[in-house]
Amino acid sequence: MADSEAAHTSIASRIAALVHTYFNGLPNSSKPVVRDNGIAEWIPMSAIVLVKGEGTPSESLTCIAVTTGAKCLPATKVGTCEGLVLHDCHAEVLAMRAFNHWLIAECYAFIDREERLQQPCSEKVSPYVWRRLKLTRDSPVLPPFELRPDVGIYMYCTCAPCGDASMELVMAEQDDPTPWAPQTTTTTTTTTTTTTTVASTSNPPREQPALDGRGHFSNLGIVRRKPARRDAEATRSKSCSDKLALRQVTSLLNYGASLLVAVTANAYLKGLVLPEEEISRTGIARCFGAEGRMKDLLGRTWPITKTNADTPGVQGLPVSETEGRHRYEFRPFEVLSIPNSQLRALWRFRKPKASDPAQTAAQLKMSKPGNKTVIWIRGPTLDHESEFGRPSLVTRLPTLRGSSTGVFENIIGGVRQGYKVADPGMAGASALARRPLWEHWRNAMSVTNFMIGEHEVLGTTGAVPAFIEKKYRGFKKPHGYEKAGCIKARKDAVQAAKEILGGWVPNVEDDNWPKQEWEDENPGNDGPWASPDTESAEGSVALRDSRDGPGAPKRRRLDA
């Protein structure tokens, strides 16, 4: 155990210490700087840590992903992204996407190992996932993998998530706590007693308006949009508080990963670790707690059951197993704290606060959020043996505490550093952007055994119809999904949660693009996609093998 870890004994402090050693191992080019004009950059950081065997003598902590970021794409630019630009570069959101990227790669490596050994894998293959059971006609309703039962998921953040959970903190930092008016075009309707301002919008009516990040302090417990700054262009990206709240119902598994890994209790976030100074117990309880804004979801469940009774060869499936462990429900996570002294000792890129000792207004003005986003994702357990997720042969790859690297990227404006936001192409897209992450999932699904005899067993989960869809929009809502147990249960849970939260306006413009052009060059071949180009931009940074399936060209990429 490192010295910094030994100094603190709580699970929260050990998680924080571990994460910071990983961040410290990144190149200086990935960290905030002091600009030429003297402005010192600050940046939020988030990470996902798996704790295996918590509270036992064999307890171990594994850092899965480290991300930084504080930027968001305006709503006006989302429609031109073609799945190649990150909409939301807040650190918390990227950490959740990074976890799913790693989990899909871990499943792929597991399958690849089994195929080469021609036998089921043991604990030595992956300490984090296992096959739920071999696919049989008796239980095809669930995905083939599960997280091992002794694995817990924690998120660490250096600052409170934006949105409802941090509104009290925002108010406390204001010189003038007068609520900001929403930055929208307005129309005014006057009656004899009141004057009501109504935000003009092309969206259909909804229960509550999705306010800009810090608008109307007095409205609490509502869905808020990013960004927080009132002078910034509006977005449709929901706040990190709201996205984390939704994950308390859907689990940390995203839609694609939920078709590979069955949802269980430990697929939900077990704990959120924050510095003491970033916790408003009132805000946390309201936003995430069992008695807060989501309390009406308590006791409701959405079990994953077989609903496609017409699937040949699998009629009359027993569903007793799925009615127990495999279901969606509201599972509030625990919020844990680390001492402020520990944060200050570990994190020199903390955002200055007006309440800091000896902090002057001039010093606050000389501090700005950094423009660069950083993504580091651990490689799969078998990356030294599996083609999938193996890092490229690069000369400046960060070696973090001996951990292999699956993805390492510097991001500016939602694309990899060195590429234009207006036209990044596949080469400039982050591994966590919609299109590459979809391809990543397809690569893993392409080696998963869909068949038992002549029957598409995974068809009862919805994986097969999702896999064969040609557009991202179809992938998210494949033909016949109402009869697919996994997809229907998830969508029902999501809908219920969004109805409770209210005011959830989706980012729908960036979902109507097709699979990449490789398919046009290989008609009739629906296998893993190859990379469309092998050129690398001078001075750009990232490892891309994590999205390349077997047989795809390996590329050498260097970061700036």
Structure confidence at residue 452 (pLDDT): 40
> Is residue 489 domain-resident?
yes
Task: Please give the helix or strand (H or E) that residue 52 lies within, else none.
Answer: strand 45-52
- Quickly tell me which residue has 């397809």 as its tokens: 442
Q: What percent of the chain has pLDDT over 70?
A: 68
Structure tokens at 251: 């689990």
Structure confidence at residue 513 (pLDDT): 81
List the helix and strand counts (H, then E) for the chain. Answer: 15, 20
Q: How sure is the predictor about 466, in pLDDT bands with cuts at 50, 70 and 90?
A: confident
Q: What's the pTM?
A: 0.82
> Is residue 11 domain-resident?
yes
Residue 396 makes CB contacts below 8 A (sequence gap 6+) with 27, 558, 559
The alpha carbon dihedral of 250, 409, 155, 90 has a sign of negative
Which residue type occupies 79?
Answer: G
Q: Whole-angstrom Cα distance, residue 437 to residue 212?
A: 28
> Is residue 183 domain-resident?
no
> Is residue 185 domain-resident?
no
**What DSSP string runs through 118-130?**
TS---TTT-SSEE
- Residue-wise pLDDT tens digits, 482-525: 767 788 899 999 999 999 998 888 877 888 887 554 445 444 44
Structure tokens at 161: 């998530």
Structure tokens at 141: 């309703």
Strand residue runs (E) in 148-228: 151-157, 186-190, 195-199
- Residue-wise pLDDT tens digits, 38-80: 899 999 999 999 999 999 999 999 999 999 999 998 888 888 8
Q: Whole-angstrom Cα distance, residue 125 to residue 136?
A: 22
172 three-state secondary structure: helix
For residues 60 and 51, the answer to whether their CB atoms sit within 8 Å is yes
Which residue type occupies 66?
Answer: V
Q: What angle do CA 547, 430, 542 make, to 5 degrees?
A: 80
As a whole number, mean pLDDT of residues 442-468 equals 68
Region class of 251: left (phi > 0), else alpha (psi between -120 and 50), else beta: left
Q: Beta partners for 65?
A: 48, 377
Structure confidence at residue 180 (pLDDT): 56
> Is residue 343 domain-resident?
yes
Q: Which residue has the higher pLDDT, 489 or 462?
A: 489
Q: Which residue has the higher pLDDT, 310 or 54?
A: 54
Q: Beta partners for 209?
A: none
Q: Whole-angstrom Cα distance, residue 337 to residue 281?
A: 11
Residue 175 makes CB contacts below 8 A (sequence gap 6+) with 354
Q: How far is the CA of 119 from the CAs of 112, 128, 146, 334, 458, in angstroms?
A: 11, 19, 18, 39, 20
Q: Whole-angstrom Cα distance, residue 494 to residue 497?
A: 5
For residues 484 and 465, the answer to whether their CB atoms sit within 8 Å is yes
> Is residue 557 domain-resident?
no
Residue 326 makes CB contacts below 8 A (sequence gap 6+) with 142, 262, 263, 264, 303, 304
Q: Which residue has the higher pLDDT, 96 or 456?
A: 96
Strand residue runs (E) in 133-232: 145-147, 151-157, 186-190, 195-199
Structure confidence at residue 522 (pLDDT): 42
- Residue-wise pLDDT tens digits, 191-212: 333 333 333 333 333 455 556 6
Q: Whole-angstrom Cα distance, residue 212 to residue 198?
A: 15
Q: Whole-angstrom Cα distance, residue 215 to residue 223?
A: 11
> Which of 155, 169, 157 is closest to 286 using CA atoms?
169
Q: 3-class secondary structure for 351-405?
A: CCCCCCCCCCHHHHHCEEECCEEEEEEECCCCCCCCCCCCCCCCCCCCCECCECE
pLDDT above 50: residue 186: no
Q: Whole-angstrom Cα distance, residue 122 to residue 110?
A: 10
Provide the number of structural domains found in the chain: 1
- Residue-wise pLDDT tens digits, 263-303: 999 999 999 999 999 999 999 999 999 999 999 999 999 99
Region class of 524: left (phi > 0), else alpha (psi between -120 and 50), else beta: left
Residue 324 makes CB contacts below 8 A (sequence gap 6+) with none
Q: Whole-angstrom Cα distance, residue 276 to residue 349?
A: 17
**Helix ranges, 502-527 (H):** 518-521
- Residue-wise pLDDT tens digits, 365-422: 788 999 999 999 999 987 544 444 433 333 344 556 667 889 999 999 999 999 999 8
For residues 168 and 221, the answer to whether their CB atoms sit within 8 Å is no
Structure confidence at residue 389 (pLDDT): 40
Structure tokens at 472: 């991202």
Structure confidence at residue 219 (pLDDT): 86
> Is residue 202 domain-resident?
no
> Is residue 518 domain-resident?
yes
Range of the domain at 235: 3-165+217-305+319-547
Structure confidence at residue 213 (pLDDT): 63
Structure confidence at residue 16 (pLDDT): 98
